[in-house]
Amino acid sequence: MIIPGIPFILGSLGFITYAFWPRDLSSVINIPLNSKAEFFSVSAHGVKDNPDSWSDELQKLIKQNNIVKSQQNISLNWSEFSDNVFICSVSAKKIGHQLGQRLLKETKVKSIHVIGHSCGAFVALGLCEAVKEQSSDIKIQTTYLDPVSVYAGVWWNYGIDKFGTCADFSDSYIDTRDGVPGSNINLPYTATFDVTELGVKNNNMKPHNWPTQYYLSAYRNKKVPLIKETPQLQNYDLDKLITTH
């Protein structure tokens, strides 16, 4: 019983070592920041994706509805690391953590709204944790679009247990037809919106990608919950939103 288990243990250790191996993330992290900005909106695409599919458009919408001048909109391109499913979760969390540290050190940040799709959910988590570790006064909203829960290929419920725990408010949008862990269940620490039924009507859209397009449409039509401290649109009645989604 012991001998057959040794290859499995060694294989798991090798996988974890590969996932956590130090990598230079500067190509993603070293983006220009507005030192005078107080409000930040950050969005991160998912596995084997890029900002063109939804993130760029979302940030344009957010910018159009910006009522405060001191805001910066960031559509993060981290495809160099997201294309590798074996390292994307660990890399994403580190990217979020390092970006959060930069916001604290280099800007006048007061409020952040960070949106992550698929493995990009870990960017949102890492950024939130980095900021809240040093300042509980900064208001943060995290939005998860069909998030992947598996961390480092080993901890399958990591995201389910973590997403939403850090932020002042967190919402998520899922399609239950998706078989990816975390992408198809209600997350206990977020206000979860099941958009599966509407996705069925959009037959040309893959279940894993549908929540991003739903969120774009909902934001465009001013039907997403936003905390008061984010300078975007208005603070909607969450109870009403839950009954209408």
Q: Model confidence at 202, in pLDDT bands (50, 70, 90)?
A: confident
102-125 pLDDT, tens digit each:
999 999 999 999 999 999 999 999
Give the chain's mean pLDDT: 86
Quick: pLDDT tens for 52-76.
Answer: 999 999 999 999 887 666 999 999 9
Q: Which two tokens stand for residue 34?
A: 């507005």
Kindly report the pTM of this predicted structure. Answer: 0.86
Backbone angles phi, psi at 29, to 5 degrees: -75, -35
In the prediction, which pLDDT does 242 show? 36
Domains along the sequence of the chain with CATH: 36-244 (3.40.50.1820)
Q: Is the pLDDT of residue 150 over 70?
A: yes
| 83 — pLDDT class (breaks 50, 70, 90) | confident
What value does the mean pLDDT take over residues 77-99?
A: 91
Amino acid at 83: D
pLDDT beyond 60 at 18 = no
**If DSSP states are collapsed to H, E and C, what string results for the chain?**
CHHHHHHHHHHHHHHHHHHHCCCCCHHHHCCCCCCCCCEEEEEECCCCCCHHHCHHHHHHHHHHCECCCCEEEEEECCHHHHCCCCCHHHHHHHHHHHHHHHHHHHCCCCEEEEEEEHHHHHHHHHHHHHHHHHCCCCEEEEEEECCCCCECCCECCHHHHHCCCCCCEEEEEECCCCCCCCCCCCCCCCEEEECHHHHHCCCCCCCCCHHHHHHHHHHHCCCCCCCCCCCECCCCCHHHHHHHC
Question: How far is the C-alpha of 198 from the C-alpha of 241, rounded, in Å?
Answer: 15
Q: Measuring CA to CA, how many Å separate 104 from each of 38, 76, 116, 126? A: 10, 18, 20, 14
**pLDDT band at 228, cuts 50/70/90?**
low
pLDDT of residue 183: 87
Burial 211-242 (b: 16+ CB within 10 A, else e): bbbbbbebbeeebbbbbebbbbbeeeeeeebe
Tokens of 202: 């959009």
Asked whether 99 and 67 are in contact (CB, 8 A), the reply is no
* pLDDT tens per residue across span 160-178: 999 999 999 999 999 999 9
pLDDT of residue 23: 64
The per-residue pLDDT for 110 is 95
Lowest mean pLDDT of 55-69, 93-107, 207-221, name the range. 55-69
For the ranges 19-28, 52-61, 91-100, 124-133, the lowest mean pLDDT is seen at 19-28
What residue has token string 């993603």?
Answer: 28
Q: Which residue has the higher pLDDT, 102 or 18?
A: 102
